[in-house]
């Protein structure tokens, strides 16, 4: 098992009110799986993504990532786990505007303490993997939205993480570019990467082999992507046709 | 991740960021620069002053004592000194006979602020001293032109004078004063010699003086309150000389055992002490002003760093998500604050040196800055940046990565 969550709860205090963002979530993801986490805004899926990504720690429950219990780790340990085990891909790309594509992809390797030469080699290779070997010295504002997301994917891949964690990766892209990016994810899935994709779009989740639906901080459905993501037969038929 | 990596990456980011907000960075480092410049100029002027004072004091002849009714530096009840008995010629002669260590004993009587005239030329504010031949030995005066006073001049009450170099230059510009007649308090004096130049102490000329024979002075001014200067071969013997002189004087003046001396023994070192006492307070204030300027600069750094942290909240979130530890973020921002400060410090150092140089050229104050001060200025500025960067850096590191990534 790559990911194992056991009765994960996350409560926030907003003013005097306690918000129950996650109410006891348990599931497992095997190595090489491609799982969509689907839910409407406010369902708790963002909180779940933050917990899986080790950006946030659960109030209660246990979480094992790649065999390590990360639910009670210190801030420094979590930083190292994020660096080694997780490749983030965000809706808004989250690139450093003043760095080149190469500089952005290099960044996690700097925090790993690699030497400049090795960093650059690996970053070039990662950009090559996403088809951007001719955009190495471009800055984010010189790139299209799709190219920016490819840089972000290269940055996620460069550390050879055990999990790719994507948060609405097509949310800021037009549909054609979005499909390209999904194609890239399919390719990465075939290469054996484990992918967690958080989205509110049923059509996107339907493309994943497995989907988990979250509502009010609980898992309400877990199964093959099309069945979980699409509510009725006609939607499923339409999705299958495309 | 190691601290080495933190520092390298912190430095790289800091250097890059300086180039991004050029105007803002420039304004901030100007504030620090002015602080450092102020401080350095003040320190330079102080160092220059101290150096000049030490050199001038050394030129005064340090192997001598002065016996007077009053100390050089009066503290407490000044009237105590006024009521003391005057020194007498007999006491001076007794001292000369009884002292084993003294190489010269000479009386000295003064009138300040005299005016000397020759035709239309006049010099005022001249220090008039009545004394004998050994005065030259005690104070180490050169006499490059003519001769010094002799005891015979005094015994015969001759109307002769030896001029200080500045007096001679101003009364007889471009020509020799020797043998000429000068008027002093409506009496004519023949110039028999001109003293070598001594320079200034605390901006006051040591060459604005005129010497006349001791007994001539007494006859003309009717003043009897004189001082006695005693010289010794070696400055190391001054303590012994002082003990001896005090003993002899107490006997000659019949001071009962157990009573305090009714005279004062003065040394030029006392002037140095007084100088230090007087100036240290002034320096304290001046350095304080410099420090306040630097404090203002430091607050500027803090302000700019707080703005920077806010502007770069998302960047901090990204870095944290990709594996930067809190410490990495702290080092990054501290590096930036120190770097801005150090650059400001370097500019301020150049500026401060310039000010000190201009001061030394324009005024008679010899400003001097030691090389170590320059290095100190830059390091000090960097430290100021470091200190004022702590709070903004801590704020940056405390940011929650999730919140930071969401920040617009």
Interface test with A, best of B2, B13, B323 (most A CBs within 10 A): B323
Q: Which of A50, A96, A111 sits opposite B315 (nearest CB)?
A: A96
CB of B7 within 8 Å of any CB in chain A? no
Mean pLDDT of B83-99: 87
Q: Is B310 on the interface with A (CB under 8 A)?
A: no
Structure confidence at residue B375 (pLDDT): 84
Q: In what order do the strands lie in the sheet with A3-14?
A: A17-29, A3-14, A60-65, A68-69
Q: Which residue of A has its CA nearest to B312?
A: A96
For residues B9 and B324, is the Cβ–Cβ distance under 8 A? Answer: no
Do the chains contact at A155 and B322, CB–CB below 8 Å? yes
Nearest to B1 among A75, A90, A113 (CB): A113
CB contact (8 A) between residue A94 and residue B9:
no
pLDDT for B371 equals 74
Smallest CA–CA distance from B408 into chain A, residue: A92
The DSSP line for A81-124 is HHHHHEEEE-TT----TTS-HHHHHHHHHHHHT--HHHHHHHHH
> Measured in whole angstroms, how far is the alpha carbon of residue A186 from the centre of its chain?
14
Residue B201: per-residue pLDDT: 65
pLDDT at B385 over 80: yes
Say whether B323 and A56 touch across the interface (CB within 8 A): no
Q: Which residue of A has its CA nearest to B2?
A: A113
pLDDT computed for residue A7 by the predictor: 96
Alpha helices in B66-130 (DSSP H): 78-82, 89-98
Q: Any CB–CB contact under 8 A between B325 and chain A?
A: yes
Q: Which of A10, A51, A55, A73 to mutate to test the interface with B (most CBs of B within 10 A)?
A: A55
The answer to whether the pTM exceeds 0.80 is no
- Tell me the average pLDDT across B104-122: 89
Summarised one tens digit per residue, pLDDT across range B135-167 is 988 888 889 989 999 999 999 999 999 999 999
Inter-chain contact A111–B323, Cβ cutoff 8 Å?
A: yes
pLDDT attached to residue B271: 73
Chain A CB contacts of B406 below 8 Å: none
Indicate which of A96, A111, A155 best probes the interface with B, i.e. most B CBs within 10 Å of its own CB. A111
**What is the predicted pLDDT for the residue at B64?**
83
Residue to substitute from B20, B322, B398, B404, interface A, most A β-carbons within 10 A: B322
Q: How far apart are the first and last CA of chain A?
A: 33
Tell me the C-alpha distance between B82 and B13, whole Å.
Answer: 73
Residue B315 with chain A: CB contacts under 8 Å: 96
CA distance, residue A227 to nearest chain B CA (Å): 31
Q: Which residues of B touch A168 (CB under 8 A)?
A: none
How confident is the model at residue A173, as a pLDDT?
Answer: 93
CA A47 to chain centre: 13
B323:A75 CB<8 A: no
Average pLDDT rounded to a whole number, residues B85-99: 88
Asked if B15 reaches chain A (Cβ–Cβ under 8 Å), the answer is no
ipTM reported for the complex, 2 dp: 0.93
Helices marked H in B21-132 — which ranges?
Answer: 22-59, 78-82, 89-98
Q: What is the DSSP letter of B86?
A: P
- Per-10-residue mean pLDDT, chain A, length 242: 95 90 95 94 91 94 94 92 96 93 95 92 95 94 95 96 95 93 95 95 91 94 89 66 64
Interatomic CA distance for residues B241 and B236, integer angstroms: 10
User: Chain A residue with minimal CA distance to B397?
Assistant: A75
Pick from A80, A94, A98: CB nearest B323: A80
What are the pLDDT digits (tens) for B261-276?
Answer: 888 888 877 777 777 7
Q: Count other C-beta atoms under 10 Å from residue A89's C-beta.
A: 23
CA distance A23 to B102: 102
Q: State residue A38's pLDDT score.
A: 94
Task: Check if B308 contacts A (Cβ < 8 Å).
Answer: no
Q: Establish if B224 touches chain A: CB-CB under 8 angstroms.
A: no
What pLDDT score was predicted for residue B38?
Answer: 84
Backbone φ and ψ for B98, nearest 5 degrees, come out as: -90, -25
Under the banding of pLDDT at 50, 70 and 90, the label for residue B1 is low
Q: How far is B10 from chain A (nearest CA, A)?
A: 11
pLDDT recorded at residue B10: 81
Q: How far apart are CA B153 and CA B214, in angstroms?
A: 9
Structure-token pair, residue A94: 């989250």
**Domain architecture of chain A: domains with CATH:** 33-48+81-241 (3.40.50.300)
In this prediction, residue A159 carries a pLDDT of 95
**Cα B221 to the chain's mean position, in Å?**
36
Instruction: Say how many C-beta atoms besides its own lie within 10 A of residue A81's C-beta.
Output: 19
List Cβ neighbours of B250 (8 Å cut-off, separation of 6 or more): B261
Would you call B394 exposed, middle or buried from its count of C-beta atoms within 10 A (0-12, 13-18, 19+)? middle
B325: which chain A residues are within 8 Å (Cβ-Cβ)? 75-76, 79-80, 111
- State how far the Cα of B26 lies from the Cα of B343, in Å rounded to an integer: 9
Q: Where are the domains of chain B?
A: 2-56+272-406, 105-231
Contact A88 B321 (CB under 8 A): yes
């Amino acid at each position: 098992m790559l990911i194992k969550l056991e009765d994960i709860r996350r409560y926030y205090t907003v003013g005097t009110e306690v918000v129950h963002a996650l109410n006891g979530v348990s599931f497992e993801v095997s190595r090489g799986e491609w799982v969509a986490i689907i839910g409407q805004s406010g369902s708790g899926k963002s909180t779940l993504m933050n917990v899986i990504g080790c950006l946030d720690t659960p109030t209660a429950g246990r979480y094992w990532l790649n065999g390590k219990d990360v639910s009670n780790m210190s801030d420094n340990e979590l930083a190292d786990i994020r660096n080694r085990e997780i490749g983030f891909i965000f809706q808004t790309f989250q690139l450093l505007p003043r760095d080149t594509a190469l500089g952005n992809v290099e960044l996690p390797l700097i925090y790993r303490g690699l030497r400049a030469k090795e960093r650059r080699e690996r970053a070039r290779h990662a950009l090559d993997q996403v088809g951007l070997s001719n955009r190495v010295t471009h800055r984010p504002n010189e790139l299209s939205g799709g190219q920016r997301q490819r840089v972000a994917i290269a940055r996620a891949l460069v550390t050879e993480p055990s999990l790719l964690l994507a948060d609405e990766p097509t949310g800021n892209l037009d549909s054609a570019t979005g499909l390209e990016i999904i194609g890239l994810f399919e390719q990465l899935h075939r290469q054996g990467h484990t992918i967690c994709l958080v989205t509110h779009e049923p059509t996107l989740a339907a493309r994943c082999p497995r989907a988990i639906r979250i509502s009010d901080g609980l898992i309400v459905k877990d199964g093959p992507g099309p069945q979980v993501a699409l509510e009725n037969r006609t939607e499923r038929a339409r999705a299958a046709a495309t | 991740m190691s601290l080495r990596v933190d520092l390298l990456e912190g430095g790289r980011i800091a250097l890059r960021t300086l180039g991004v907000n050029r105007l803002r960075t420039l304004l901030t480092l100007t504030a620090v620069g002015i602080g450092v410049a102020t401080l350095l100029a003040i320190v330079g002027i102080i160092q220059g002053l101290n150096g000049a004072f030490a050199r001038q004091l050394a030129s005064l002849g340090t192997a001598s004592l002065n016996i007077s009714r009053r100390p050089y530096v009066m503290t407490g009840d000044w009237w105590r000194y006024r009521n003391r008995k005057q020194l007498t010629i007999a006491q001076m002669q007794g001292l000369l006979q009884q002292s084993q260590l003294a190489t010269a004993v000479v009386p000295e009587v003064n009138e300040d602020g005299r005016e000397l005239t020759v035709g239309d030329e006049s010099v005022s504010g001249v220090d008039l001293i009545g004394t004998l031949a050994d005065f030259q030995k005690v104070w180490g005066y050169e006499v490059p032109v003519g001769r010094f006073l002799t005891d015979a001049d005094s015994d015969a009450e001759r109307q002769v004078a030896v001029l200080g170099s500045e007096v001679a230059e101003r009364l007889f510009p471009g020509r020799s004063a020797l043998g000429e007649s000068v008027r002093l308090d409506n009496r004519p004096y023949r110039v028999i010699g001109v003293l070598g130049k001594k320079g200034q102490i605390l901006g006051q000329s040591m060459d604005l003086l005129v010497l006349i024979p001791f007994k001539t002075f007494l006859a003309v001014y009717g003043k009897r309150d004189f001082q006695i200067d005693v010289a010794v071969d070696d400055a190391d013997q001054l303590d012994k000389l002082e003990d001896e002189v005090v003993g002899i004087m107490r006997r000659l003046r019949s001071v009962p055992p157990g009573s305090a001396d009714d005279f004062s023994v003065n040394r030029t070192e006392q002037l140095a002490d007084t100088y230090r006492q007087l100036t240290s307070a002034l320096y304290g204030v001046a350095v304080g002003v410099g420090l306040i300027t630097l404090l203002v600069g430091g607050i500027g750094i803090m302000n700019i760093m707080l703005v920077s942290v806010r502007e770069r909240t998302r960047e901090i979130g990204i870095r944290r998500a990709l594996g930067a530890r809190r410490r990495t973020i702290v080092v990054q921002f501290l590096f930036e604050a120190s770097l801005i400060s150090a650059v400001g410090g370097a500019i301020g150092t150049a500026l401060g040196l310039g000010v000190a140089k201009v001061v030394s050229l324009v005024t008679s104050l010899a400003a001097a800055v030691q090389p170590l001060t320059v290095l100190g200025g830059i390091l000090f500025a960097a430290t100021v940046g470091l200190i004022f960067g702590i709070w903004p850096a801590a704020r940056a590191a405390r940011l929650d990565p999730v919140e930071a990534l969401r920040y617009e």
